[in-house]
């Protein structure tokens, strides 16, 4: 994508209203399509037809998102090859991600998990993505200490990871607005009750004096002497919601918040507030949507690059998975997504993007996935750039 950055006078009101209406409509369509069906708690009649299921319970989402914990010590991972091509640019094909995780169940209540990622160049991007100790007193009360994903917004598994993200491209909202693999160091207390309601709270180090797009883990390397912390202020964040599975489908809805002082002088505030929803019907229809708003005090260095504290983004995704094969574990799946991002609410730039994507995935064998995607990119303000892009991916879990 071109790095051209053009700033225009303030002329946003009409454009912002149109985006707000569009985003609200797309989000509401998915949520209100899902809720009436999910509310039916009656067990489904026995059927020989394979059904599409997705584990949206919190216990599954707070794990690494691949493999299974069926023994004392488990090793799992996945490899993701990725390619993309834009007009007037050299096509790229590389090993985008190689994840490896190990989990030890020390006792019935204590476990230790470590996760590492190789990305692009091993001399620079072998990162400890997560490393934590869990004490699970019950499903409703689990204490986690170490490095883990910030518990706000859609779980990173569904927006970044090649094996569960329905598209090849990582969602701009997560990558640019919420610092990609937003890994924090601290304490995480979470749980889910029998009635389906859940909570996920954390006190942690927060961001190291930046709100630039990209990986927070890379930013933290610059502050290794402080283990990613730059002041005595601690970030407070959380996600609260409801998850339910029945004979009709799987539903997960949540609302998130976060607040912290992110600079060494403890004078600059950064806040997040958002809502998200996912629904998987047994027929294979799936909806995923999120809106996230960021606010606070600008960082002068980031502001020069067009990144302000006041920013927002949203995404709405629809897909339909069709199972095939004798065991019903192979599938094909068309995907449609529309998302928008604005990294500075107060200034019109041609980095304010609205992207419409169509994709097609096929898994001929379990744990093996082929993905394709084409993006239609529109600059909401300023001169139009030829940013459309084609993607393809190849993923294998182990």
Q: Does residue 227 lie in a domain region?
A: yes
pTM above 0.85, yes or no: no
| pLDDT tens string 14-36 | 454 555 555 556 555 554 555 55
Confidence at residue 220, expressed as pLDDT on a 0 to 100 scale: 44
* Number of domains the chain contains: 1
Q: Does residue 82 lie in a domain region?
A: yes
Residue 361's closest CA among 328, 322, 305? Answer: 322
List, in sequence order, every residue forming a beta bridge with 79; answer none if it has no partner: 98, 396
Q: Does residue 1 lie in a domain region?
A: no
Q: Where are the alpha helices (DSSP H) in 183-273?
A: 216-221
Q: Which residue range forms the structural domain that includes residue 80?
A: 7-397
The span from the first CA to the last CA of the chain, in angstroms, equals 33
Q: Which residues of the chain have pLDDT under 50?
A: 1-7, 9-11, 14, 16, 31, 37-39, 68, 219-220, 223-227
Q: Does residue 169 lie in a domain region?
A: yes
Looking at residue 22, which CATH number applies to its domain?
2.40.160.10
Q: Does residue 256 lie in a domain region?
A: yes
Confidence at residue 288, expressed as pLDDT on a 0 to 100 scale: 97
175: three-class secondary structure by DSSP = helix
Confidence at residue 10, expressed as pLDDT on a 0 to 100 scale: 44
Q: Does residue 2 lie in a domain region?
A: no
| pLDDT tens string 364-379 | 999 999 999 999 999 9
Q: Does residue 299 lie in a domain region?
A: yes
CA 343, 344, 345, 349 dihedral sign is negative
Cβ contact 96:80 at 8 Å: yes
Confidence at residue 54, expressed as pLDDT on a 0 to 100 scale: 85
Q: Does residue 29 lie in a domain region?
A: yes
Q: What is the DSSP string of 301-331?
A: HHHHTT--SSEEEEEEEEEE-EEESTTS-EE
């Amino acid at each position: 994508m071109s790095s051209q950055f053009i700033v225009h006078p303030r002329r946003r009101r009409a454009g912002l209203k149109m985006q707000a209406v569009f985003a609200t409509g797309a989000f509401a369509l998915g949520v209100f399509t899902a809720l009436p069906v999910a509310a039916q708690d009656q067990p489904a009649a026995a059927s020989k037809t394979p059904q599409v299921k997705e584990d949206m319970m919190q216990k599954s989402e707070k794990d690494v998102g691949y493999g299974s914990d069926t023994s004392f010590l488990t090793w799992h991972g996945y490899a993701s090859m990725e390619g993309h091509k834009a007009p007037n640019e050299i096509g790229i094909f590389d090993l985008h991600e190689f994840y490896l995780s190990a989990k030890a169940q020390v006792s019935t209540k204590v476990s230790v998990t470590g996760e590492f990622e190789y990305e692009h160049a091993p001399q620079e991007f072998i990162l400890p993505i997560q490393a934590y100790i869990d004490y699970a007193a019950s499903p409703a009360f689990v204490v986690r200490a170490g490095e883990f994903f910030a518990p706000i917004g859609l779980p990173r598994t569904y927006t970044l990871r090649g094996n569960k993200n329905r598209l090849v491209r990582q969602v701009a909202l997560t990558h640019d607005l919420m610092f990609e693999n937003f890994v924090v160091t601290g304490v995480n207390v979470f749980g889910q009750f029998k009635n389906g309601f859940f909570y996920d709270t954390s006190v942690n180090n927060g961001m190291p004096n930046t709100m630039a797009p990209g990986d927070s883990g890379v930013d933290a390397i610059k502050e290794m002497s402080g283990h990613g912390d730059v002041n005595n202020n601690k970030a407070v964040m959380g996600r609260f919601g409801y998850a339910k599975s029945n004979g009709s489908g799987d539903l997960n809805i949540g609302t998130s918040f976060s607040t912290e002082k992110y600079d060494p002088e403890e004078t600059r505030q950064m806040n997040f507030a958002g809502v998200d929803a996912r629904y998987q019907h047994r027929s294979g229809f799936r909806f995923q949507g999120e809106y996230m708003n960021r606010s606070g005090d600008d960082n002068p260095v980031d502001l020069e690059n067009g990144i302000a504290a006041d920013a927002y983004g949203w995404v709405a995704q629809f897909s339909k998975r069709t199972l095939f094969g004798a065991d019903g574990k192979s599938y094909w799946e068309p995907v449609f997504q529309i998302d928008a991002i604005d990294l500075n609410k107060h200034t019109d730039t041609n980095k304010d993007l609205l992207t419409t994507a169509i994709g097609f995935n096929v898994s001929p064998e379990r744990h093996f996935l082929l993905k394709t995607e084409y993006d239609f990119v529109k600059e909401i303000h300023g001169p139009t750039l030829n940013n459309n892009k084609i993607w393809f991916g190849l993923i294998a879990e182990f």
